Amino acid sequence: MTAISLQDAVAQAVVENPIFETAEAEIRGVTYRVFTQTPQTIRDLLQHARTAQDNGAADYLVFGDERWTYDEFCNDIKRVSAILADRYGIGQGDRVGIAMRNCPELLLVFMATVSLGGIAVFLNAWWTTEELAYAVDDAEVRLIFADGKRLERLRPLAADRGLTLVGVRDAEALTDQGFSRLMADQPQADWPDADIHPDDDFAIMYSSGTTSAPKGVVQTHRGAIHAVYSWLLATLIAPKLNPGKVSPDPAPRPVGLVATPLFHVTATHPIFLLSLPAGAKLVVMDRWDADAAVKLIKDEKITRFLGVPTQSADLLQAAERLGARLETLDYIGAGGAKRPAAQVAELHQSFPQAEVATGWGMTETNAMGIGMQGADYLSRPGAAGRLYPPVQELRFLDETGQDVPPGDVGEITVKSPCNMRCYLNKPDETAATLQDGWLRTGDLGQIDEDGFVTIVDRKKNIIIRGGENIACLDVEGALHRHPAVAEACAFALPHERLGEVVGACVQLRPGHSIKEADIQAFLRDHIAHFKVPERIWMQPDPLPRGATDKIDRRGLQAACLAMQPA
């Protein structure tokens, strides 16, 4: 069998699988290419996926010693939906907060909320009380399901905001409303009766941007569904593009490992939501531990690993240390940050049976975007990949919004039904980012003659620490709250394991003298631990400025890096 073009592979797959048929449709006044035969909402997806999950009998969800078949998982979703509706009055358009580490309850509350036509609001489990307060107010959330640490951080906010906090797992003893007690009182239920439209909102996920406050990314059912089925199509066209890798033996059932936080799209979308129609089993880790991941991969016969690049490196080292070959892995993907080019060959050498892959996407695109794997990635380890077909369009724009010539560097700009509806309560930021259906990503890149995209820089002031996006202005805002700091500038520092960490330079006010550790301790009360600068340079003079009188971030970064010991 001879390899064919990407366009021909897509055409063949659509003929063989009419569920991927597309047509044009108008959404919020803009014409997009959309799937016409797929499920239209997340609740439809849950119901439609039952066939792929052995008509509900398949072993679906694993969390430690706990297991659910697919039918058991869906039955629990229905029970939680009934609790939300009957006890808390949640209905279409109502928002439910989720603040916890990875656990089955997170998925149950998520799916139960959206099955009612409600909106799941994901609260970052690493946020401080101060950061949680911003999101709770921004999303106007009044009902939140939380585990122990998150519930303790939310408690100071409860009285003033009229919050109802439901304890999950280790938080059940901290509140009179515990998840397991609620479930015991609701032994069974049917799917809720709600008229959900594909373009209704289903989730709000917070993403650090160029502003000091995180932005609530409003996602729709249609956006998530189109991302899921674009990835599903990609799995079908891969063997057509690389027929030499096709095995005559039946493929094992896919088994995915959830190793990244479920409050980010990397875990919720291309792992959890994709697992449903893919007929995959899902194994959930409550937190990352490379040695534990090796054991789970062996015990549960995991085939698909997707995490930030640091996790791939950790897994590689753990497998070598434990003498594990991890033969069941057939896919090792990276998202959230760029994988170091040298790591691509290392992973391929250690796990030759697995396709090493990379992907680029955003919370604003429901994680849909660009990707590649296998030989394409091995030969282009510095690239991000090709645009996933068939509903996306791609442009590269200059500062004035005009297309740059092919091969030149421009801002990566994508149009698809996967794109967010808006930034919550931020019309100006929405208008600057979404223009006639095109989403300006803030990433600068170029495309070659074969359609492979390379990201060369960031237009926006973002630090990516192990897959976590950190707005420089967020860090600077916290630094400015310290009484000794006159002005501050944050920037990325290279890090061997995490890719980047936060660095900062501050001008101290006259008469003030303070230690770096004291500033770091102060910051931990105001911003999440991963945002706290690992190195802070201090000086009495004003920070250097450029021609526009703005702080010269790049020049200051270079000067501070030059002062670091070799």
Residues belonging to the chain = 566
389 in Cβ contact with 233 (< 8 Å): yes
- Contact partners, residue 265, CB within 8 Å, separation at least 6: 205, 361, 362, 363, 366, 367
Using CA atoms of 261, 266, 269, 270 in order, give the dihedral in degrees to the nearest 10.
-130
d(CA 447, CA 386): 9
In the chain, ranges of CATH 3.40.50.980 domains? 70-218
- Longest alpha-carbon distance in the chain: 76
Q: Cβ distance 432 to 438 under 8 Å?
A: no
Exposure letters 439-467 (e unless 16+ CB within 10 A, then b): bbbbbbbbbeeeebbbbeeeebbbbbbbb
Q: Which candidate, 100, 103, 109, places its Cα nearest to that of 63?
A: 103
pLDDT digits (tens, 9 = 90+) for 125-148: 999 999 999 999 999 999 999 999
**H helices present in 140-197, as ranges:** 148-161, 179-184
Contact 366, 418 (CB under 8 A): yes
Q: Tens of pLDDT along 346-398? A: 999 999 999 999 999 999 999 999 999 999 999 999 999 999 999 999 999 99
- Amino acid in the structure at residue 500: E
Tokens of 476: 């600077």
Q: Work out the average pLDDT over 2-22.
A: 91
Rounded Cα distance, 464 and 462, in Å: 6
| Long-range contact pairs involving 367-372 (C-beta distance under 8 Å, separation at least 24) | 367/227, 367/265, 367/266, 367/269, 367/270, 367/335, 368/226, 368/227, 368/230, 368/231, 368/269, 368/392, 368/416, 368/418, 369/414, 370/453, 371/234, 372/452
Q: CA-to-CA distance for 440 and 432, rounded, in angstroms?
A: 8
Mean pLDDT confidence for 101-118: 98
Architecture category of domain 463-563 in CATH: 2-Layer Sandwich (3.30)
Virtual torsion, Cα 271, 268, 501, 135, nearest 10 deg? 180
pLDDT of residue 246: 65
Helix or strand run (H / E) with residue 507? strand 499-508
- The residue among 5 and 155 whose pLDDT is bigger is 155
Query: How many separate helices (H) and strands (E) can be counted in the chain?
Result: 18, 28
Highest mean pLDDT among 5-9, 196-200, 458-462: 196-200
H-assigned helices in 285-401: 290-300, 309-322, 341-350, 375-379
User: What is the number of other CB atoms lying within 10 angstroms of the CB of residue 415?
Assistant: 21
Residue 504 in contact with residue 482, Cβ under 8 Å?
A: no
Instruction: Give the model's pLDDT for residue 77.
Output: 98
DSSP code of residue 147: -
* pLDDT-wise least confident of 155-159, 236-240, 248-252, 277-281: 248-252
**Confidence (pLDDT) at 549:** 63
Q: Where are the alpha helices (DSSP H) in 219-305?
A: 221-241, 265-267, 274-278, 290-300
Q: What percent of the chain has pLDDT over 90?
A: 83
Strand partners, 454: 446
pLDDT at 250: 82
CATH 3.30.300.30 boundaries in the chain: 463-563
pLDDT at 550: 73
Taking the C-alpha atoms of residue 522 and residue 516, their distance in angstroms, rounded to an integer, is: 10
Q: Classify 334 as helix, strand or coil.
A: strand
Phi/psi of residue 448, each to 5°?
-95, 180
Is-cis flag, bond preceding 390, omega within 30?
yes
Picking from 438, 102, 474, the residue whose alpha carbon sits closest to that of residue 289 is: 102
pLDDT value at position 212?
Answer: 61
Residue 138 burial (CB count, 10 A): 18
Decide: 275 and 282 in contact? Cβ < 8 Å. Answer: yes
- Residue 135 half-sphere exposure toward CB, CA atoms < 13 A: 30
Number of neighbours of residue 175 by Cβ within 10 angstroms: 17
70-218 under CATH 3.40.50.980, yes or no: yes
- Residue 10: pLDDT band (50, 70, 90) is very high
